[in-house]
A and B are shown apart, each in its own frame.
Chain A
Amino acid sequence: MNRFDYIRPVSVPEAIAAAAVPGSAYLAAGTNLLDLMKVGASRPERVINITRLPGLDRIEWLPDGGVRVGTLVRNSDLAYDERFAKTFPVVAEALLSGASAQLRNAATVGGNLMQRTRCAYFHDLAGACNRREPGSGCDALGGENRLQAVLGWSEHCIATHPSDFCVPLAALDAIVEVEGPHGGREIALDTLHRLPGATPEQETALLPGELIVALRLPAEASSFSRNARYIKLRERTSYAFAVVSAAAALEVEGGTIRKARIALGGVAAKPWRAREAEALLEGKQATAQAFAEAAELALAEARPSGDNAFKIELAHRIVTRALSLALEGTPQAMPALPASPFPALSGANHVI
């Protein structure tokens, strides 16, 4: 444990000023950061608790039909917000497939965006990890890497981003609103998380001291509400990260795809938007063949980073499935097992 300063600012400017000191970290619910601090994988010198900042826990509907979600809105509160779930059902489904009910009740929107990789080597202080300790090497390469990245990785890092929530957000062109020492700016969620390249320690596009204050979903993203699904494969029905996952959203008119959105989870250091695959689908008939071609294109650049070639095949199949299920239509009600390929079973009529 490092000794660290603990600061609880009461305004955003105060928070940002406090975070200008190098070695600072923002703390919201702490469902990820505190665990990392306990094992020593994260060692901030200054922890800035933002949970008392005013006005960041609101869901605001914009005049154009978009939505602005404060960074402190709890995962559960957002997923169960009726209008939100109706307008952006794929996001609600992804949220409810993440973690456990207890964690979702605590975890915040901003915290979810900023969660760190689950790579075991990132957590294993006795091992080398460029993300944790730049230049030390990557023990995941050649290690136990069954669940590591198959897209966008480098020999410096093969970790994945674990969020479910971020996958449909990337697909739907979500925007992140940021405040920082030099004022406010907006970042497309798709560019918030960075691929490792030679600098895996630079995990996001945020500059030192910058604070995510809100997340915006544009009005256009609501046009997919009738045909959007998030599907997640995992080895336990709840409280498990995705082996691979996919968000698919379609705008269909008379069997023809007008617009398509596809993003993959669990495959790269960021939620993986598959723009070329989307483009391929647009204007095409919605057929299994077209979906398979889109999946092929989405995974065209994929390559195993270790004993994980199966993830490429699995990702291919889950993209196809997510598209098929999206075409079938968004379920009228949240499935009993959100994001599961399995429909409800007797005895399982609860959100996990």
Chain B
Amino acid sequence: MDEPEEQDKAVIEQLRTALAADATPARVTEAAKAALTWRRIDAELAELLSDSVLDVEPALARGGAVVRSVSFSAGETIIELEVHPDGERRTLLGQLSPVAQRTIVIQHTDSSASVSARSDELGRFRITLEGGGTVRLRIADDQAGPAVETAWIPI
């Protein structure tokens, strides 16, 4: 009878051989290589502050539905988002603080087309997307100062 260590080696070898069939798919590696094109060039990063989907106990909205809320910050600027799914469609309700009227562009990793909206005099905005995916918001300052881009989030 072999020593346990030798037997472990045999089992590891067997698993390794079997798992070789599950190497990273080429398209996943290609997509990762293409991700560098999303590097921020002329914008400040708004970091992910919180994402309720990672909370242990998600907040309950009226009626008991769970609403996902996500927030980002870049210096003084805070961007709060609620994600409301409706089948494939996603409606984003947002709030900029300090209150500001800005152009907000949603960028989507799967498509070059971007959707935009403008925040109102209370800093609120609403954007509807036809499908989910991985997105970020770019908030352009109409006057001086750099644009802000949020971290990417899957929605």
A, B assembled together:
no
Which residues of B are interface residues toward A (Cβ below 8 A)?
none
